[in-house]
Structure 1
Amino acid sequence: MSSPVNIPFQSFISIDRDSSTSIYLQITFQFINAIQRGYLPTGLKLPGSRTLSELLGVHRKTIIAVYEELDAQGWVQIHSNRGTFILDKEPEKIKIKSSESLQLYSYPRQTGFSFNKTNILDNPYEYGDFLYRWNDGTPDYRVTQIETFTKFYSASLKRKQNQKKWAYSKEEGSIYFRKQLSNYLNLTRGLHISDKNILITRGVDASIYIISQILLEKGDKVVVAETSYFAINMIFQKNGAQILTIPIDKYGIQVDKLRELCEHTTIRALYLTPHNHYPTTVTLSGSRRMELLQLADEFGFVILEDDYDYEFQYDKNTTLPIASADTNGMVVYVGSFGKTLPPGFRTGFVVAPENLIYEMRKYLGIIDREGDIMMEQVLGELIEEGEIHRHLKKSIKIYQQRRNNFANILKETFGNDINYQIPTGGLAYWIEWQKSVNLLKISQECVKYNLLIPRTLLYQNKSITAMRIGFGHLTTEEMKNSIEILSKSIVSISTSH
């Protein structure tokens, strides 16, 4: 039998003398881990207490305590005058591996059991370390007044009267925030709601997921526009829904086509982004909004209205949500609050009649009962103090200027080769190419010049060649440089054929 001294005990036993866990327990736990993972095979004779104490640099009594603990737990067996062995009935018959072949295995890479897998929810986003990275329209957190919000948060934490709100309660989240948010939404979006009509979530996707759990059953038909937000469609499909599509034009979804669909099939829900349709940025006309409400009443389907970027409006004539004109409880309104704030301050919400909110809170209570109480407290104070209005007013000026700059750069670079409309809201452009180009190859070429254009921004089939490009996160210089890369890549692809 090979000598136990040849086993490199120092390679799997590490002692932290600053730890609150006693040294003998640290060594014991690491011995157990090594036995479980096969590093120390059954039948192995361990070194004597004096030898191992010298190897590990600890007192001999510590090793004696380790061996006694392992013996008490049934991991080793101590034989008087013979030594200590990894527990086995006949240790002398076990052959020990050479020290060169021994290895401490890491945590298992795969489960030892089967489970259900889904391809529907695979992450479609692309990431990478590039100088320029386009997205579908996100704010630039470099322009947020982080110092202001930090002061609000710090002051709220120190305020003694807020500390009692940290305790668990029967309510999900902060009632104070829901009251402030309901006032804010009534003022800015023409709603007529109270805190009882609001559910606070982690974001729009989370809101849609909870709604789908309650409203949809397997086989239910959900209508979306022909081009729509893929991530939300994934949620519907994961819940067993069948996706149906209707065309869209410059006035939004074609309501007459929706009526034709409703007349020969049962529709459970219509999902749309009427303020700035995703991805084309088209605004649904006022007359079609009223027609949709009439159709929902007539055929009994739910309108899921997603106002993901309502806060970004540049024209004086503000278009109110469909939910503001709903009198029969057919609209479930979903949105995002604080999108101009730093990432950690953003939150999602659902507005609906009380009976649906009551049911949704049951689901929220399972996955996120308490929410972020302190953050919600701070957001409520930002609303009550008027800081949200002041910050949004400053931000809109910056993003409106960026929108205009982006339009000028597009025109100077591509002229009549592309078609686009300057969006009245939101943080993205919808650009259609007038000539035949291969967008996927162009995006691959852009990577060579340090520009990432994710595939999720590309829309190309027999009838359309288009791209959704966000401008909010780009400075003027970043716009010019990245558009120049796009132009250079298009030329490179064209000349190579």
Structure 2
Amino acid sequence: MLPFKSLIQVDKALTTPVFLQLSDQLSQLIRKGTLLPGYRLPGSRQLAELLSLNRQTIVAAYDEGLAQGWLESRSGSGTYVATHLAEVNPQALVVNDRDATPLSSDIPTKQPGYAFESISFLMRPVLTNQAGLRLDDGFPDTRLAPMDELSRAYRSYFSWGNPQKHFGYGDTKGHLLLREQLSIHLNETRGLRTTPDNVLITRGSIMGLHLTCQVLLRPGDVVVTGETTWAGATMNILKTGASVLTVSVDQHGMDIDTLETLCQKQPIRMVFVTPHHHYPTTVTLRADRRARLLQLAEQYGFVVMEDDYDYDFHYLSRPILPLASADQHGMVVYVGSLTKSVAPAFRIGYVVAPTALIDELARLRRIIDRQGDPMLEFAIGQLLKTGDLKRHFRKALRTYHARRDHFCELLTTELSDIIQFTKPDGGMAVWATFDPTIDMELMAQQAARAGLSLSNGIAHNPPSQRLNGTRLGFASSTEVELEQSVAVLKKILKDC
């Protein structure tokens, strides 16, 4: 008989029931080849005595093994390792090369036994909200989010309507209440002309962009972006097999003259723009360039993908209306998000487009994400309907406006000899370029050690260029926190 007392160790202090521990260890011994097909296991009474366990525990473990197919019972004979299992012949691994690295026993948890392609352009750090001081990419202050109102809206979901309906499967396009209220909100604030059928709710704008690229782009298509642009868009474009051409971005936004030259030379399938506040530089696309961009889209038949990621925060007067508001020929796909307006954890984005495209996007969305989060979508729809979310927008706008002014004043008085910037008309970050002698990567590392989180800006550099700039987010920090952040940055830069 095998030394079961040594091979099997159970721990009664664990939350896993003892019979499952025993069953799992028996299956592992079978996988390793220690217990071979057809091997007769000890009787339940005998194994119980060997392991000092209750006989019923052994019976339960054997029953589990029978149910899982590892064991088989023979009437009047006992319990055996299932004979249908392939025999395992373990072989010791011999490494002849004494300099070779021994294979680790946990390799399957790190590397699969099959090949796959690792795509280099997807290697991009994931931005997260860091503890302590921060000058981030332009995140909202989650402390301002309307949590009490959202909690009430969530609770109302549980007493609303027919439980079988609203706790079952929902519309792939998103909760109807949110699509209705969002359509009204976009029409009132952005000059759009939509119905709920023109709106697809997504988990953030990045999902909307991904779906749109998958539907509209094919290998070999050409997409034009700004020379500096959002890496999330570029990655989604390249993943379709399309190629990316870039045009320069100046203080008035994308260079439309160069875009027209490209259109004259070759077919362009799509142009990706962030016209309200260009990412990352925050400049606004000038009115005449907006008009020409729409004219070129109609003339050459390309799609305009408009990402309006922070429309709700503009500090001068009424925000400039999006390109989609002036689109007369259905050339613009308008993508936006409420994550910047409320909090990143609330994954609510949207795509606005002609209904034929929305229907196709919904069909594609269904095979990767059957539906969104109906409870969250209902709650946000309620906040829009009651006006709570609009009140939050107004409060946040006043707060971020004051923080922008205070932060820009700090940069001017404390760091004007090292940092150059233009005070942004809106958004939640300042685009700052640093003195060429500053090593941005080293600066970010030193800042992190001093308790200040900020980007080194390398991700914003176009190929073969060094902008020596980065986005310094001000919205997520109080005025006192901004003062502390600038003080840390000043000390670091003076020492560089």
In structure 1, what is the Cα distance between the partners aligned to 2:15 and 2:473? 52
Q: Are 1:467 and 2:465 matched, yes or no?
A: no
2:424 corresponds to: 423
Equivalent residue for 1:189? 190
Q: 1:58 and 1:409, CA in 2 relative to 1: closer, same or farther beyond 3 A?
A: same
Report if the CA contact (8 A) 1:304-1:333 is conserved. yes
Deviations 1:172-215 (A, max 9, x none): 32222211111110000001111111111111111111111111
Give the secondary structure class of the aligned counterpart of 2:200: strand
Q: Residues of 1 paired with 2:163 and 2:314: CA distance?
A: 34
| Aligned partner (choices 473, 476, 481) of residue 478 of structure 1 | 481
What does the per-residue CA deviation read over 1:32-83, in whole Å, with 9 as the maximum and x for residues that have no partner? Answer: 24422556577987555345324655432442564477579463788999x9
Task: Kindly indicate whether residue 333 of structure 2 is the aligned counterpart of residue 332 of structure 1.
Answer: yes
Matched to 1:481, the amino acid is Q
Change (3 A) 1:52 1:168: same
Amino acid at match of 2:281: T
User: What is the CA–CA distance in structure 2 between the aligned matches of 1:305 and 1:128, rounded to whole Å?
Assistant: 26
**Residues 436-485 of structure 1: CA distance to partner in whole angstroms, max 9, x if unpaired?**
32212222222331223334566456563212111111122222222222
AA matched with 1:473 = S
Partner amino acid, structure 1, of 2:338:
F
Which residue number corresponds to residue 116 of structure 2? Answer: 115
8 Å CA contact retained: 2:269, 2:302: yes
| Matching residue of 2:97 | none
Matching of residue 36 in structure 1 with residue 31 in structure 2: yes
Residue 139 (structure 2) aligns with: 138
CA distance in 1 between partners of 2:127 and 2:334 (Å)? 29
Report how far residue 166 of structure 1 moved.
2.9
Are 2:358 and 1:357 equivalent residues in the alignment? yes
Calculate percent identity across the aligned residue pairs: 36
Partners of 2:384 and 2:473 in 1: CA distance: 27
Please list, as runs of the form range in 1=range in 2, the aligned pairs for 1:68-467 lying within 5 A after superposition.
Answer: 70=65, 73=69, 75=71, 108-125=109-126, 131-160=132-161, 164-169=165-170, 172-337=173-338, 339-456=340-457, 459=460, 464-467=467-470
Counterpart AA for 2:27: I
Alpha-carbon offset, residue 253 of structure 1:
0.8
Alpha-carbon distance in 2 for matches of 1:225, 1:3: 70
**Cα distance in 2 between the residues matched to 1:31 and 1:412:** 71
Distance change in 2, residues 1:379/1:457 (3 Å): farther
Report the equivalent of 1:20.
none
Residue pair 1:402, 1:472 contacting (<8 A) in 2 also: yes
**2:27 pairs with 1:59:** no
Distance in 2 between residues matched to 1:16 and 1:188, nearest whole Å: 55
The question of whether the paired residues in 1 share the 8 Å contact of 2:150 and 2:380 is answered with: no
1:200-244 CA distances to partner (integer Å, 9 max, x unpaired)? 111111111111111111111110111111111011111111111
Equivalent residues of 1:173, 1:373 under 8 A apart: yes
Distance 1:296 1:46, change over 3 A: same
Local SS of the residue matching 1:270 = strand
Rounded to whole Å, the distance in 2 between the matches of 1:452 and 1:283 is 27
Distance 1:394 1:64 in 2: 65
Whether contact under 8 Å (2:146, 2:389) holds in the other structure is no
- CA gap of 1:310–1:34, structure 2 versus 1, over 3 A, is farther
State the Cα RMSD in Å: 3.4
The farther-off stretch of 196-205 and 105-114 is 105-114
| Corresponding residue for residue 5 of structure 1 | 5
Deviation digits for residues 143-195 of structure 1, max 9, x if unmatched? Answer: 22311211121123223457633333565322222111111100000011111
Q: Given that residues 174 and 202 in structure 2 are in contact (C-alpha distance below 8 angstroms), is that contact kept between their aligned partners in structure 1?
A: no
Letter in 2 for 1:314: Y
Find the aligned partners of 1:58 and 1:251 in 2 and give their Cα distance.
78
Contact persistence 1:12–1:34 (CA under 8 A): no
Moved more, 48-57 or 316-325: 48-57
* Residue in 1 that maps onto 2:99: none
Aligned 8 A contact 1:180 1:383 in 2: yes
